[in-house]
Amino acid sequence: MARHRERCAPERHGDRLAVLFLDLDNFKTVNDSLGHPVGDRLLAAVARRLSGCLREDRLARLGGDEFVALLPRLEHPGDAATVARKMLEVLDDTLRIEDHDLRPSVSIGIALYPDDGQSVDVLLKHADTAMYGAKAAGRNNFQFFVPAMNERVPTSASSSKARCAGPLPESSCCCTTNPRSTPAAAAQSAARRWCAGNTPNADWCRRPSSSRSPRMWE
C-alpha cells in the first residue's frame, strides 16, 4: 500500500514528466565575499528568472542554493532540455544587486518519469545525481540522468547540505515545508503532494505577501 502511494499520479494517466534539480554555482563565494543580504537578494532574483521559464510547472526552493522544478505532461523528453536550456539563458544576463554586477549560473540535473524512476524518491535522487554530473562537467550546464552516474557520485551527495530555507524575499515561488527538514525531505514532501494529483497546490508554489518578513533557518 505504501509503495503504491509513492508512485506518481502521472502513472495512472500515462503521462510523462521530468524532475529538474538545480544548484546555484559558487553561491557560497557570494555569501562569503559580499554578505548574506546580497546573497538573499541574489536568490530572490534567480528565483524570479527561473519562474519566468515555467508555465504550469512547479518550482520550489529547497536549501540555501537549491531548487527543484517539476515539468508535468511532457510530450517529448527533449522538452525538458528546452526548459533547462532556457533557464541557463535567462541567467546569462548580469544582475545588478546593490553596487555589484553578478552573473549567476546553475547546474541542472534532469530525471524523467517513467524512464529514470517510478517513485518520487527515486526521481529526486536521480535528478540530484545528474546535477552533480553537470557540476563535474564544468557547471552552468544540464545533464540527463544515466545509470552510469551512480558509479561516480556519492550516495550522500544531496545530504551534504543540511540547511532548508524559508520563503525567499520577493520571490515568485517557494517551498513551504517543515523548516527543520533536510532539503531532500523538503523536496520529497512537496513533490509527493504534486504527484498525488494535488496541482495546482498552494503549499507547493505561492507568492509571499509583501507584509511577510523573510526568514532563514540554519
CA distances to 8, 174, 196 from 13, in Å: 10, 27, 12
Q: Which of 25, 57, 65, 116 is catalytic?
A: 65
Task: Return contacts of 99-103, CB within 8 angstroms, 24+ apart.
Answer: 100/34, 100/38, 102/30, 102/42
Tell me whether the omega of the peptide bond preceding residue 114 falls within 30 degrees of 0, making it cis: yes
Strands 100-102 and 95-97, bridge-based pairing: antiparallel
- DSSP letter assigned to residue 211: T
Rounded Cα gap, residues 128 and 158, in angstroms: 7
Question: CB neighbours of 14 closer than 8 A, spacing ≥ 6?
Answer: none
- To the query of whether residue 115 is one of the catalytic residues in this protein, the response is no
Indicate which residues carry an active-site annotation: 65
